[in-house]
Amino acid sequence: MARVGIIGIGHGVFGRRSDATVQELAFEAFRAAMEDAGIEKDDLDASVIGSVPEYHKQRSLPGVVQEYLGLVPKPTWLTEVACASGSAAIRTAWMSIKAGIHDIVAVIGCQKMTELTTPEILALMGRVGEVQWESVFGTTFPAYYAMFARRHMHEFGTTHDQMLQVAIKNHFYGAKNSCALFQKEITMEKALESEEVATPFHVYDCCANADGAACVILAKEDRAKKISKKPVWLDGMGCATASMSVLRRPNLVGLPSAEEAARVAYEMAGVGPKDIKVAQVHDCFTIAEIMAYEDLGFCKKGEGGKLIEERQTYIEGKIPVNVDGGLKAKGHPIGATGVSLTYEITKQLRGEAGERQVKGADIGLTHNVGGIGQYCFVQVLRRS
């Protein structure tokens, strides 16, 4: 069956973007992607928007974005699966091309989060958990992932210092990324001195809310080859779910949805974990990146802390991870995050990441988690 390729990518600056509305953020990334692809609006068949509407004052966001981008009357629609909405949008566009409905589709992940207060955001995110038996008791995202962290520490001896090594690595690379919210390195001392959030987490264990947008242009194989000299192929597209209630999960040391989505993506692409040269994973908290190492098969269960401690996930290590700063340093505008992950892997496979470039990167992976692991999308990407 014909493949689907990425022919254009664009990315805006993540941060507190009081200078732009959500549609202006979308335009920033869309314009860059269209220029990168070298195509015109008339070449597009449709657009898909990844976003979480509760954070915006504007309801029915795709309509206002579509109008602002000048794409009316072409079809558009929204995908929403919490923090994985951007990857869901890519998968939806990929399916529409695979089905023969469209040839070229723009995927835009966009989110404006800083119009709400932190307590309002915490309340919204807490309700992604199961509302009948969990979120009504005051659960928050940091508290949920703190439970994962404490269990991982209990079962495997993982230490808080190992978790903070994730933050140190990601801030090191975020300092080299002009699109990142936090473009500064941190030390272990600075991280430990930061305010405690939810035991064992301190501020530097947690990613930050942000505004921002990213865009990728997908095309069916024959069109991609004609348009682009450097298409990147979406060869493995895994997707899975887990129970809404965390307490009904088989364990609290990983995400079953991530394990299943990875299995499907690897099988579809005909590769395994050892074939991946660079990865972008969902590091909403430091323990999340460590669990991702294990769920994706980069190391055995319980050895994720050792992997980062040995610096194996730096560029010079055996599996570079989040060398754009990750959610931790780049920021997490939840609808844009999944598209941003794909943007970075595309740049890596095209050899365009500058001082953050992983040498010889020909196969890459993205891992995007929605909610507290209720949804997970894993993509395996390959350059021509």
Please give the positions annotated as active site. 83, 332
Taking the CA of residue 189 as centre, how many other CA atoms within 13 Å lie in the half-sphere pointing to its CB? Answer: 0
How many CB atoms within 10 Å of residue 147? Answer: 17
What gap in Å lies between CA 91 and CA 73, rounded to an integer?
Answer: 22
Residue 287: exposure state from Cβ atoms within 10 A (0-12, 13-18, ≥19): buried
Angle between helix axes 160-174 and 141-156 (nearest 10 degrees) is 120
- Residue 363 bridge partners (DSSP): 382
Angle between helix axes 160-174 and 286-295 (nearest 10 degrees) is 100
What gap in Å lies between CA 345 and CA 184, rounded to an integer?
Answer: 22
How many CB atoms within 10 Å of residue 377? Answer: 30
Phi, psi of 5 (to 5 degrees): -115, 155
CB 363 within 8 A of CB 271: yes
What gap in Å lies between CA 88 and CA 376, rounded to an integer?
Answer: 9
